[in-house]
Amino acid sequence: MYLNVIIAGFGGQGVLLIGNLLAYAAMQEGQNVTYMPSYGVEMRGGTVNCTVVISSEQIGSPVVGRPLSAIIMNQPSLERFEPRIMPGGLLLLNTSLVDPKLASRPDIEVISIPMNKLAEGNGDPKLANMVALGAYVEKTKVVSLKSIIAAFPHVLAERYHSLIPTNVEALQLGSRYMKDYGGK
């Protein structure tokens, strides 16, 4: 088993958090894993991304030039990463913030998800990242949703533990959306 994903968006959308959750869950399932945050002189409102590699074999590069999959939460990230996705790869696109017509690759699978809108309907638009992660895990089955839920207390600082239930709700919402979407 080998899968890699680039998760990208604005600073503050929580892309690093869902990268951490995914990596932690995969580790707990016995996989090899690397998590690499984008690193540079970052600023508020700027773009941020991370790369997660999950493999049953030893992982060489934590850096990925052409990802097999991507979760794109804003437009600048689509412009930057869509051309790099491997042919036949997967793109989960946040259509609350990006016009789906801007995704131009015919040779990849693009799944449109109104991540912010769904999260807002659930009571907190800030949890768009959890909707994305729930959908991604449902689509790829790279880890179980249960493992993601179990990862929260390890990944989140203790002062945020009271927020775990609402995060889990948004996660499950994303997962259900993908299940229904798959039927379309």
Residues 145-184 interacting with other proteins (rule: CB under 8 A): 154-155
Among 11, 29, 37, 100, binds other proteins (CB under 8 A): 37
Q: By CB under 8 A, which span of 26-34, 117-125, 138-146, 168-176 interacts with other proteins?
A: 26-34
The residue within the footprint of other proteins, chosen from 45, 65, 165, 183 (CB under 8 A), is: 65
Q: Which amino acid is at 50?
A: C
Nearest distance, CB of residue 10 and other proteins, angstroms = 20
Write phi, then psi, for 137 (nearest 5 degrees): -70, -40
Q: Which stretch binds other proteins (CB under 8 A): 22-30, 97-105, 122-130, 134-142?
A: 22-30
Whose structure tokens read 């690499």? Answer: 36
| 33 lies in the binding site for other proteins (CB under 8 A) | yes
- How distant, in Å, are the alpha carbons of 83, 87, 103, 104 from that of 107? 11, 5, 11, 9
Q: b/e map of 39-53 (b: 16 or more CB within 10 Å)?
A: eeeeeeeebbbbbbb
Retrieve residue 24's tokens: 């932690």
Q: Which residues bind other proteins (CB under 8 A)?
A: 20, 23-24, 27, 32-37, 39-41, 59-66, 154-155
